[in-house]
Chain A
């Protein structure tokens, strides 16, 4: 038997950031699709008002998160790698149905498997910035005639709005798969528990070191 240890894998801020972001994105999606007239719940005007407030909160949160990632060096977790990527893919397509072991080991130093690295890299470097930028342009779009900043005059809101809508659909699709993949940890609830409590039972690495943050439970 390999040694198992309960390890702090997600620090307090990381968990707070994750859940705050999750909540805000869910709320933004809910109000956003109402603005898109996909359904009517809060009313158009309140949907816009709350959507804008949540957007500002998300921006603040992202600023904090970027600062945290840079100062703690955690940003390195998201550098994509091709190592084991095929094995990880094979695991999701075949291995998982045969109760095969996870091809990559989760440690506090390497929290993400290669597919996660790639997905989150894409999310953080492309999708979220694209959503944010199109959202800010949407918010600060000025109609012809308002022209406060002439060089930024865009002739139509259409392109901005459609880009923002596409981002929203992509984020919603991410959310669906993300919610499902939570259940693919060591046990069905292991990943969820880890993100809630910060702790996860992990196999000890060779040499007995298994602590990024240096804290053992």
Chain B
């Protein structure tokens, strides 16, 4: 009896310990507390730029500001001029094609397609003052635009279609004296409006992030930690960490959650085990375009319709353009559940002039590599942007049309609304052949989602993936997931085994009852 009590007592103790060890603590508190303390410290600049005499004399052109900057920071412009932000290209290794120089200079996307020939307009988002089609700007140090990133007065604004030059009405002295660390407003003016409007491209980067609340983004919430872009996108010598796979191929210089939160951020070992194969973003970004809609579909083939000889635009119920004569038809979506793919940090790209297999379904412009069996792969959330874009059916290459020009008659589609002349002008500028025929082809681009991280209580629940039908990961089928997957054979045999066992014992029991009744009535007779 004594022994029994000891055994029961020790088992109870063990049960209590195991409950304690495995209980519901979600986050390892040490790291978070440390991070909160670190990012609560206000940045104190080491210099007050209003006091510098070099910034007191009246600036009449932005180039004078640049020279004033270089006057003290006399090597910084060289760092800038080595960066991808400046050069619009960087060295990338693509598996199967070797080293390529890839960037906005030569990449093709399925939004406004490509920059060559359209530089004057596209360069509104270049950190320089005088981009043109000749590319002379790239070696001109006076053209480096320090202000677009470092203006802290929030008044600096670039002019449209002027090759990157700012508006002529700005108080350049006020701006020059305000400079400091880049804020969300500095990065956001370009990165929130890529593709020609708010949230067109990314889906998780948009103007609501200038002043977000906690539900929109737990890191950048203005009333919370209020993290700025450069807090995560750490920058050494103007080389900014983090990359977008619309233009990148290699698994390097990335900005990741683990850099702050460690690879095992949960107190729960089962959740930490997930981090081997599931990226943080997958559970912690349950939806994107949470505040304003993002563009999901762009159909270039309908572009060019005119009313009374003039281009026009139509809006959808959310107030976004659903049709523009210059660009075609769009579908916008808000609060979108991401798509999920395997990703190992490397990508390949459709490059200018690549032949297309137009029988193989949608052409993916930036295939992201990965699979369950690949040791470096994790499941990530993505926005998939689909387009119907111009294509040369004879040469089997994507067309990069001339879209922008200041004058009619130069072939630019946005002035002349003629696909053939726009294609001819665009392809000629790049030096690619054009057959004279324009058709349209379905393309897809994958945009990994990294922002709009939800508060932990809104993260994706277990049963949103671990569910038989219709789960978030229903499309990823190269691995076994508990709660979703099962063997049909085992299920069939198991169910029949249980059913037959049950029927067997019921029949046997019934037999016993009947035979007993018969016996009793027989005895009574």
Contacts and interface: CB of A to CB of B under 8 A. Distances in A.
A79 interface: no
Most chain A beta-carbon contacts within 10 A, residue among B15, B461, B508: B508
A49 B375 CA distance: 27
A89 interface: no
Nearest to B8: A16
A144 B374 CA distance: 7
Interface string A42-57: 0111001100110011
Interface stretch (B59-67, B345-353, B447-455, B480-488): B480-488
Contacts of A96: 512
Nearest to A163: B490
B458 interface: no
Interface of A: 12-13, 16, 20, 35-37, 40, 43-45, 48-49, 52-53, 56-57, 60-61, 64, 92, 96-99, 142-147, 155-158, 161-162, 165-166, 168-170, 172-173, 176-177, 179-180, 183
A16 B9 CA distance: 12
| Interface band, chain B | 35 or more
A176 B505 contact: yes
B494 A166 contact: yes
Contacts of A56: 14, 18
B22 A52 contact: yes
Given A16-B7, A157-B482, A145 B375 contact: yes
Contacts of B497: 169-170, 173
Nearest to B19: A53
Contacts of A144: 277, 372-375
A36 B483 contact: yes
Interface stretch (B120-128, B169-177, B430-438, B463-471): B463-471
Contacts of B491: 165
A13 B487 contact: no
A172 B504 CA distance: 14
B409 interface: no
B466 A44 contact: yes
Contact of A57 (B14, B270, B373): B14
A99 B512 CA distance: 9
Nearest to B482: A35
Contacts of A49: 22, 24, 270
B277 A143 contact: yes
A35 B468 CA distance: 11
A37 B486 CA distance: 10
A169 B4 CA distance: 32
Given A48-B270, A142-B276, A162-B486, A173 B498 contact: yes
A180 B509 contact: yes
Interface string B492-516: 0111011001101100110110011
Given A44-B483, A176-B498, A183 B509 contact: yes
A165 B19 contact: no
Interface string B468-479: 100000000001
Nearest to B344: A145
Nearest to A138: B482
B501 A177 contact: yes
B494 A53 contact: no
Given A56-B18, A158-B485, 5 more contacts: A37-B468, A52-B22, A99-B516, A145-B375, A169-B495
Contact of B490 (A43, A166, A180): A166
- 4 closest residue pairs by CB, A with B: A169-B494, A158-B480, A180-B505, A145-B375
B487 A165 contact: yes
B502 A165 contact: no
Interface in B1-51: 1, 3-4, 7-8, 11, 14-15, 18-19, 22, 24
A162 B490 CA distance: 7
A44 B15 contact: no
Interface string B251-270: 00000000000000000001
B244 interface: no
A45 B462 contact: yes
A44 B511 contact: no
B373 A43 contact: no
B519 interface: yes
A81 B11 CA distance: 35
B273 interface: yes
A38 B3 CA distance: 40
Contacts of A35: 466, 482-483
Most chain B beta-carbon contacts within 10 A, residue among A43, A145, A156, A161: A145
B376 interface: yes
Contacts of B14: 56-57, 60
A65 to B, nearest CB: 10
Contact of A12 (B4, B375, B515): B4
Nearest to B506: A180
Contacts of A176: 498, 501-502, 505
Contacts of B468: 37
Contacts of B273: 142-143, 146
Contacts of A146: 273, 276
A134 B374 CA distance: 24
Contacts of A158: 479-480, 485, 487
B490 A172 contact: no
B333 to A, nearest CB: 28
A156 B511 CA distance: 47
A87 to B, nearest CB: 18
Nearest to A144: B375
Contact of B498 (A37, A48, A169, A180): A169
Nearest to B271: A45
A37 to B, nearest CB: 5
Given A35-B482, A44-B466, A169-B497, A155 B373 contact: yes
Contact of A16 (B4, B19, B509, B515): B4
Contacts of B466: 35, 37, 44
Contact of A147 (B11, B22, B375): B375
A148 B310 CA distance: 66
Contacts of A166: 490, 493-494
Given A16-B8, A173-B497, A180-B509, A161 B18 contact: no
26 contacts: A13-B3, A35-B482, A37-B483, A37-B486, A44-B483, A56-B14, A61-B11, A97-B515, A143-B277, A145-B375, A146-B276, A156-B479, A157-B479, A157-B480, A161-B482, A161-B485, A165-B490, A166-B494, A169-B490, A169-B498, A173-B497, A176-B498, A176-B501, A177-B504, A177-B505, A180-B505
